[in-house]
Amino acid sequence: MTTTSAQPEPAAAAPTSRRKVLQALSGLMVGMFVSILASTVVANALPRIITDLQGTQTVYTWIVTTELLAMTATVPLWGKMADLYNKKLLIQLSLGLFVVGSLIAGLTPNVEILIVSRAVQGVGAGGMTALSMVVMAAMIPPRELGRYSGIFGAVFGVGTVAGPLIGGVLVDTSWLGWRWCFLLGVPFTIVAIILLQRTLDLPVVRKEVKIDYLGALLITAGVSTLLIWSSLAGNQFEWGSWWTVGLVGGGVIILALAVWVESRAAEPIIPLTIFRNRTVALATVASALVGVAMFGGTVFLSQYFQVALGKSPTVAGLMSLPMVFGLLVSSTVAGQLITKTGRWKGFLVAGGIVMLAGMGLLSTIDGQTGTVMLGVYMAVLGIGVGMLMQNLVLAAQNDVPAADLGSTTSALTFFRSMGGTIGVSALGAVLANRVTTLLTEKLGPMAAAGGGGGDAHAVPDISKLPAPVVRIIQDVYATATAELFLIGVPLTVLALVAVLFIKEKPLATLSGEERLARERAAASGH
């Protein structure tokens, strides 16, 4: 008995020291910082980018959703490759793609190339998003993961705080401009690649298997079809048109075919067997709904600050701080308490309740909502998200075999990103449609010219419009944005219901590599 248990462990997975863990996490944290910075630094620049490149409200949405789509579609593939190949090399590859996408975006001459560059960035961000959590789970036991998740929460907070502020300053500085919002991340990404090369050391376990590329292609095609529908419906064609029937029906059929292919593949991109696990299934549902509600609502807040409230990009960045600090504090504190007590479900339930409250409060905003009140509402939402999002991944990772850690982590990230992608796209279409409808009601014939010249779907440049028209446009954008959060309320309720049915289980005290060693030893009978 003694011989059996002692045999496999030293060779396969000696516990990683805390010093080595922190060294390895340094590169991961810089990479994560770059990924967060890339999305947040652009948020306040988008209204200016759209104006300079003469884009429309639909293009505004696509600049956000293209990156989310590319990230969503590739996350499962990155996760599966992490189970089969060198995790270190894969992370460096994802960061390299991110550098290429950032350079193209920074030098773009038009919105079309900008959208392509965002897709390249999204592929790189998908790798970083999936692989950072997989590597953490491989090195750190779930019982200790909360503490390190808290550190990542701090990095997330710093990147989110710095992003809007840096973006606002860059846009408002004439000799720099919005292009540096993309170029700024390049040196950080190169630093992350070098750090990972020097500090990350994981055993390479390569399996001679074929990746299910057909399944990956079908998943990407199905999600893309639904995204195209949700982005164009209400603007290019009616919601109840034959276009809707064709695109939705086609998307559903392609995804059904993807499920059929995945169920028969030797190494599926998303193993369907993991969804037999109750915790994984419920955490996946909750993650998708959180993605719809959170990404779909908050991505348009910057536009609300600048168009509805008339703030500059820099001020808009400052106004986002309460939500960021709420997320930073709650994720860090929750992580420390989970590590200390070993209990985690209470934080999920509390996070769902607080996030629901934040969504409800933000659905009451208008063009006259005070800055302090807005800050309180956003802080409440941030606190809820901070307690909920990462701990859903922790709960799922704790409840699956170590051999499925990569697939499980990437599946949760995939469905959260898919929820966010479709949420941003669909709610962006709702916003554009509501803005057009409300402008038509209040401005009549002038609405056809976007309130004063140009495309009716274009994001208005309020600095060039007369004061009476500006007040109407600001009121319209405020009303439409509040309606997006109102749509997010029932989705958050469903997420809370899913969380309530998750069963709490004690957190494992072995890292993913140690658990994998034991599983292999048990399977081989040693």
User: Over the stretch 426-442, which tens digit does the pLDDT of each residue have?
Assistant: 777 788 778 888 888 87
List Cα–Cα distances, 172 to 44, 161, 313, 318, in angstroms: 10, 17, 7, 14
Asked if 295 and 355 touch (Cβ cutoff 8 Å), the reply is: no
| CA-wise closest residue to 419 among 37, 72, 49, 30 | 72
pLDDT in tens, 355-368: 999 999 999 988 78
**Lowest mean pLDDT, pick from 93-97, 171-175, 475-479:** 171-175
pLDDT in tens, 360-392: 999 998 878 888 999 999 899 988 988 887 788
pLDDT at residue 423 in the model: 76
CA dihedral 289, 291, 292, 296 (to 10 degrees): 160
pLDDT at residue 78 in the model: 81
pLDDT at residue 161 in the model: 61
Asked if 205 and 402 touch (Cβ cutoff 8 Å), the reply is: no
pLDDT at residue 256 in the model: 93
pLDDT in tens, 156-166: 656 766 676 78
**Lowest mean pLDDT, pick from 1-15, 21-35, 503-517:** 1-15
CB burial readout 443-455, b (16+ within 10 A) else e: beebbeebbbeee
Could you tell me the pLDDT band of residue 512, with boundaries at 50, 70 and 90? low
Name beta bridge partners: 233.
237
pLDDT (average), residues 126-151 = 74
181 or 208: which carries more pLDDT confidence? 181
φ, ψ (nearest 5 deg) of residue 502 = -75, 130
Token reading at 261: 């292919």
Q: Answer yes or no: is pLDDT of 288 > 80.
A: yes
Could you tell me the pLDDT band of residue 11, with boundaries at 50, 70 and 90? very low
pLDDT at residue 361 in the model: 93
Q: Answer yes or no: is pLDDT of 329 > 90.
A: no
Which of the given ranges, 119-128, 138-147, 232-241, 438-447, has the highest pLDDT on average?
A: 119-128
| CA-wise closest residue to 39 among 428, 479, 417 | 417
pTM: 0.73
pLDDT at residue 165 in the model: 73
Q: Answer yes or no: is pLDDT of 249 > 90.
A: yes
Could you tell me the pLDDT band of residue 253, with boundaries at 50, 70 and 90? very high
pLDDT at residue 128 in the model: 82
Q: Answer yes or no: is pLDDT of 4 > 70.
A: no
Q: Answer yes or no: is pLDDT of 254 > 80.
A: yes
Q: Answer yes or no: is pLDDT of 10 > 50.
A: no
**Lowest mean pLDDT, pick from 145-154, 243-252, 281-290, 381-390:** 145-154
Give the chain's mean pLDDT: 77
Q: Answer yes or no: is pLDDT of 285 > 60.
A: yes
